[in-house]
Each structure stands twice: as structure tokens, then as C-alpha cells.
Amino acid sequence: MSDNSSVSLPSPSLPHPSAPSPALPSRRLLLGSAAGGALLSAASPVLAAPALAVGRKPAPKHPAAKPAAKPAAKRPAAHPAVPSDAQAAAAIKAEYLHGWNGYCAKAWGYDELKPLSGGHNDFFAPGHTFGLSMVEALDTLYVMGCDAELARSRAWVEAHLDPAQDVDMHVFEAVIRVVGGLLAGHLATRSKALLTRAREFADRLLPAFTSSPTGIPYTHVNLRTGQVQGREVPLAEAGTNMMEFGLLSRLVGDSRYYDASLRAYRAVLARRSALDLLGTTIDAESGRWLDHTSIAPNPPADSFSEYLWGGGKLLNDAQLTQWYRMLTQAVQTHQSDVRGGLPWYHPVDATTGARTGGTVQSELASFYAGLLGKGGDLARGAAYFRSWTAVLERHPVLPETIDYATFGVVDCGAQLRPEYANSAFDLWRLTGDASYKAAAWRWFENMRSNHRVAGGYTVIDDMRPTRPVLGDLTPGYWFAENLKYLWLMFSGTPRFDYRAGILSTEGKILAGVR
Ligand code: DMJ
């Protein structure tokens, strides 16, 4: 993908909670604020990770205003010893609570924490809160046995979460984060109020689907008025709703949510090329492709096929599974690349199959290793996981985007993302292979060494310098995903059914919570 401009995402018509990567389009690249702040000790009560700021002054109260010198980024440890499961689980939980306590202390009731400045961030719209980090955290708190924290969050959500705010809501993010979070919270706690709230949200999101002539959802809908906007729809946003909407339909006995999701899938799949490939962006009103590039498994295509597999599994729907297999086969046939024995995926013109770009890959694509494994192709999944592990051998944390021909950094952010750990979890669950636990532990150590600050965990704006430039944000998904995958791998918690559990793209446990 030498010429990434060929796959650039059309600008959304509304202010977007995500910002485009300079190299690959990303609908979920959350921005931290300007650099600043000092990394503090990464010590944990159980496993003393090396302190990073020996002799350093504590972080100033508002470091964003005046970037502080930071200690050197921890280079990847050769292969750190993996502690016992019990020790690892305790360390993982301690770090989760470190982030959680930061949120509670400085951003309680708001969407997201800014752990350096002690401020907060409105994820969906300025001046509006959905208590996003709490919603994202509900089922993680449950499986970690943090019952007091869960009760407090549940009470806030039940009392204060308002699904009728005058907000132009980003439908994709609202479905995977809010509807999914509420459903997972309901399954974990049996709270009827959480299920009711999930349904209220879904009802207010539905006009994005039902008022679309094709059934492909508009990107935004006003929760209060039902007014829709955003007809240029990235592929993943057209399809990443089946797991939440299908489950909701089943739980409340109302097929409208499942039907809306299926109609959107049908509309997109009917427009696949003769090669069974899909483009990147589609017009919700005309059904025409606005960008013919097949960019999977990179964003913004990534979770479109993830939800065909997940929906098929969760809803026992053979049609969805069959679509997953068809699209996956096409991507393997037309987009596979191999460098140094490692598999990668390059973009092609969906109609002709001609290669349209060079060798750029988004970190977000690393989820695909686990998906390939779950979809039945363990060999390819394991090989793609090795590709990303090789990148981690080179860099202390995974950059947002790399050039897979050189492993060079293309986008130097590191947005505290969970995809590599997600794949480690999926592949470990499928195989029982301890090497995935070792890989996940190493990833955890690198995260703890590089993203931990006194106030919680934060994104990195530039991971290239030996003293990385920190951003100032704990993304909501950090509470849903990163440490949940690790916890489930090491804790052996009885609160999760390891055989039957099914998680959404946002790490929500939509089946198998006990
Ligand atoms: C999360 O919002 C979800 O995992 C999504 O599907 C892709 N990745 C982001 C975090 O990186």
C-alpha cells in the first residue's frame, strides 16, 4: 500500500470521535491531547516492574501545558519470564484497578479520563456524557470480581444514562460500546434496567437503518430527533451491529433489531464484486461504492466480517457464517502477501483484484489472527499472529501503522489498543498453547512499562523517541478489552464459560458469563 491516499476515507460530514491516521483510514483512532507528563513507577504490588522514573519529580498537575521530560521507553524485553497464573492475574487486576481508580478520582460520571491532566473527555459530543468508561467496564468488573465497583457503576448507569440526548450519535460506536456494554452489563448482573436502557438506545439508533433507502445505516443519528446524517459509510460501520442487535432481538423478543442488521448486511453483500470482494466505503442512499478498494482486514473494513463470524456463532445463523467464509476466502485469495516468511494483507481493487497499494498495515488488523483461528483456519491465524509478534520484537509497543516490508513506523501513535491481546486470547482459547500466554504477558509488561502514569493509563502520541511523547487519554475501550483478555487468560475465573463464551469486537461478553 505504498500509496495510501488511494484508500483514504472520505471525511465524515460530522465531527467524528475518531481521527484519520496519516497512513490508513481509521474510524477509531482516538486522539490523546498534546504531549506531556512523566511516566511514573510501573511497580505493581505483585510483580515489581522496573520503576521508570527513578529520581524523577512527580508529574505536575497539568503537564499537558508544559511537556515534561520522560524516561526512556522500555524496549521489548527479550522474553520475560511468565509468572504463575495467580501472580499474573493479581498483577493484571491491580493494573486494571489502577486505571479504574484514576477514572473514578478524576472523571467519574464522564465518558473518558485524561489521566495526565486529571480532566475528562466527552467521547460522542461536547457537553454530553454517557458515562462511557463505566458502560464499557461493567462486564469486566464482573469477571474480575470487582463487585463493589460494579455496583457503583451499575447504579450510575441505571440512574443517569440518558438515551434521549440531543446528540448526533455515531451509530457504529454507539452500538459496539453503549448497546453492547449495556447488554453485557445486563447479562453479568441480570439488571432489567440495563436491558431496558439497551433497548431504548437501540430504538433511538434504529432510524439510521430504517430511514436508509438501501438499509445500509447512516453514520450518525440524532438520539432526540431521529434526524440522520452521513451517507458515506465505511464498510465496518455498515455491518458491525449484528451481534448486539441480534442478541437484543432475542432477549426482548422483538425482531426489528436483527432485521435491520440483516437488511444492511444483505444490501452490502449484494454489491460484492464477482471476486467476492467488498469496497471500503459505500453510499447508504444510492448503494454505490464510493471507494472500490478492498482493504480488509485493515480498518475501516475490519469488523464487517468479524461480525459475520460472531453473529453466526452467537445467533446460530448459518447464512452469516457462510458469508464469513466466502469473504474470508476471497481476501486470502486476492490480498495475501508474504514477507520474510510472514503473512500480511495488501489492498486490491475489489472489481479487478489488481493490487492498489504497498505494504502498510494497521495495528487494528492484528485482531484478524484470532478471527482466522475462530473461523477454522488456525494455521493462517497463528501465522498472522507471528507476524505481529515479530513487530513487537522490534518496537516497545505496537505503533498505529507499520510498513510490513521493513517494520518501520508509518503512524507513530500508540492508542492503548487491545487487538494483539485479543488475538492472543482467541488463539490460546482455541489451542491451549502456552506460547500465547507468554506473548500476552510480554505485551502486558510493555503496556505497563510504557503507558502507565500516576493517574492511570494513557495513550502515546509518538512512540518513536526513546522518550515517547505521551497523550492524555484513557480510551473507553481500555476498560472493556485490554485487561479483560489478559484476565481471562490467567485467572481461570469461574464467572466465564471458557468453552462457550463469545465476545464482541469491543470485548463485551455476549454469551458465556456465569
Ligand atoms: C475498539 O473500539 C474495538 O475493538 C473495535 O472493534 C476496534 N478496535 C477498537 C480499539 O482499538
Per-residue model confidence as pLDDT tens digits over 67-101: 333 444 566 556 778 999 999 999 999 999 999 99
Question: How are the residues of the chain apportioned to helix, strand and coil, as percentages rounded to the nearest 5?
Answer: 45, 15, 40
Evaluate whether residue 350 is within a structural domain: yes
| Bond prior to 45 in cis (omega within 30° of 0) | no
Residue 477 CB less than 6 A away from ligand 1 = yes
Number of separate helices (H) and strands (E) present in the chain: 18, 21
Tally of domains within the chain: 1
Of all protein residues, the one whose alpha carbon is nearest to atom 10 of ligand 1 is 417
Q: What is the DSSP string of 153-201?
A: HHHHHHHH--TT-S-EEEHHHIIIIIIHHHHHHHHHH--HHHHHHHHHH
Q: What separation in Å is there between the alpha carbon of 506 and the centre of ligand 1?
A: 6
Evaluate whether residue 295 is within a structural domain: yes
Question: For the whole prediction, is pTM greater than 0.85?
Answer: yes
Evaluate whether residue 33 is within a structural domain: no
Evaluate whether residue 39 is within a structural domain: no
Evaluate whether residue 219 is within a structural domain: yes
Evaluate whether residue 330 is within a structural domain: yes
Exposure of 265 in the CB half-sphere (CA atoms within 13 A): 29
Evaluate whether residue 56 is within a structural domain: no
Q: What separation in Å is there between the alpha carbon of 369 and the centre of ligand 1?
A: 15
Residue 28 CB less than 6 A away from ligand 1 = yes
CA nearest 463: which of 35, 44, 116? 35
Note down pLDDT in tens along the chain; length 514 residues. 222 222 222 222 232 233 333 333 334 333 222 222 222 222 222 222 222 222 222 232 332 333 333 444 566 556 778 999 999 999 999 999 999 999 999 999 999 999 999 999 999 999 999 999 999 999 999 999 999 999 999 999 999 999 999 999 999 999 999 999 999 999 999 999 999 999 999 999 999 999 999 999 999 999 999 999 999 999 999 999 999 999 999 999 999 999 999 999 999 999 999 999 999 999 999 999 999 999 999 999 999 999 999 999 999 999 999 999 999 999 999 999 999 999 999 999 999 999 998 999 999 999 999 999 999 999 999 999 999 999 999 999 999 999 999 999 999 999 999 999 999 999 999 999 999 999 999 999 999 999 999 999 999 999 999 889 999 999 999 999 999 999 999 999 999 999 999 999 999 999 999 9
Query: What residue numbers bound the domain in which 447 lies?
Result: 66-511
Evaluate whether residue 16 is within a structural domain: no
CATH code of residue 480: 1.50.10.10
Of all protein residues, the one whose alpha carbon is nearest to atom 4 of ligand 1 is 506
